[in-house]
Structure 1
Amino acid sequence: MLSLKTARLLVRPCRLPVLTEIYLRGAQVGKMLNAVVPLSWPQPDLQEVLPYYIETLQADPEAYLWFFWVIIDRKQKILLGDTGFKGMPDKAGVVEIGYRILPEYRNQDIATEAVKALIEWAFQQAGVNRVVAECEATNNASIRVLEKSGMQQAMPDNEMLKWYVDRKV
């Protein structure tokens, strides 16, 4: 199983069977992830997008690397949140990243550590030239994560801020 290792985290992509078990809130999720899964996870916004991930991976199971990843504490083996991409890179080599940290684990630089690892991984993949993200203009915590992850702010779009980082040549 692919795992990105950082100082404190394991960041792992999830295949279709794991996503299905998460969606069904099945009892095997912790065993499948080899982690303790807090009762507060998955959060409602994740629960809403899981059907899209599942449907997409049913059509193309090998695309799992471009969707949903979990963030696990390396030492304690506790699920802290999730991250991933909103799909495969487009024709220009652009991929969008997102992340969610459970409230009890926020303000510990977990999101920054996971996002940096995922950006680094993305740039190791052929054809990826830019990683983008967006966040609400009022979400100061997310703004800090994106800044610390090396992203630059692009032009704002209404109430959303757009961010990007390009592959170093």
Structure 2
Amino acid sequence: MIPLITHTPRLLLLAASRALLTAELHKPQYFPILLGAALPTDWPPGEYDRAAMEYILEQLTAGGRTAAGWHGWYALRKADDTAPRTLVGAGGFMGPPDAAGTAEINYSIAADWRGQGLATELVAGLVQQAEATGMVRQLTAHPDADNPAAQQVLLRNGFQTVGSAAGSRLRFERAVVPAVTAVG
């Protein structure tokens, strides 16, 4: 089973659950309470729209416990002296890896929080998650060709451009070294 929480220096990454997504979609006044975090003014960010939320909820409902962690993740900026814990982005995998061990990631940071390296940290956390499963051998991502910031996030996390994808998207790939579990 994939871990459902991970930490980076400034972020807590929390796997989406049916309860969180149901609140986000149908009871938005309860969503920040369940999440335990403040929301940015422009939530939801980028491509993480209502259709994405509904898709993730469908996948979690259909896949049960084995689907948890293979879809949406919330990126929460840890509380500090300047701000409370705040939801700053979303990302995740497009599902479990295929038979070859390839999984696709996506990510988006709320406009209020861009330009602070949080997307880079979010992607680093997703890479850690992929490594921790022991199932992923390669990650892919497909940012828009006209989004150099998203491309830089991937490059900073060891991805390489390998060509074009559908539409105006590029294809990035990164090898994943699964975490080794100590025997003892």
Superposition TM-score tier, normalisation by shorter sequence: over 0.9
CA contact (8 A) 2:42 2:110 kept: yes
| Runs of 4+ that moved beyond 6 A | none
Q: Deviations over 1:120-154 (max 9, x none)?
A: 22112132111110111111110110101111111
Residue type at the aligned position of 1:77: R
Partner of residue 29, structure 2: 27
1:57 corresponds to: 60
Question: Contact between 2:45 and 2:111, CA under 8 Å: does it hold in 1?
Answer: no
Cα distance, 1:56 vs. partner?
1.5
Q: Contact 1:133–1:163 at 8 Å: present in 2 too?
A: yes
Measured in 2, the distance between the counterparts of 1:142 and 1:29 equals 27
Q: Is 2:147 aligned against 1:139?
A: yes
Q: What RMSD in Å do the two structures reach over aligned CA positions?
A: 1.7
Q: Which residue in the other structure is 1:95 paired with?
A: 103
| CA displacement at 1:6 relative to structure 2 | 1.1
Matched, 1:48 2:51: yes
The residue number in structure 2 matching 1:68 is 72
Report the TM-score, using the length of structure 2 for normalisation. 0.85
CA distance in structure 1 between the aligned counterparts of 2:92 and 2:101, rounded to whole angstroms:
16
TM-score (norm 1): 0.93
Any conservation in 2 of the 1:19–1:50 contact (CA below 8 Å)?
yes
In 2, the alpha carbon distance for the partners of 1:43 and 1:116 equals: 19
State the Cα deviation string for residues 42-64 of structure 1 (Å, max 9, x = none).
24742121111111111122102
What residue is the counterpart of 1:162 in the other structure? Answer: 171
SS in 2 for 1:22: helix
Structure 1 stretches lacking a partner, 5+ long:
none
SS of 2:61's partner is: helix
Corresponding pairs, count: 169
Match of 2:182 in 1: none
Percent identity over the alignment is 30
Aligned partners of 1:16 and 1:64 also within 8 Å: no
| Aligned residues of 1:13 and 1:69 also touching (Cα < 8 A) | yes
Deviates more, 1:110-119 or 1:30-39: 30-39
The residue identity in structure 2 corresponding to 1:27 is Q
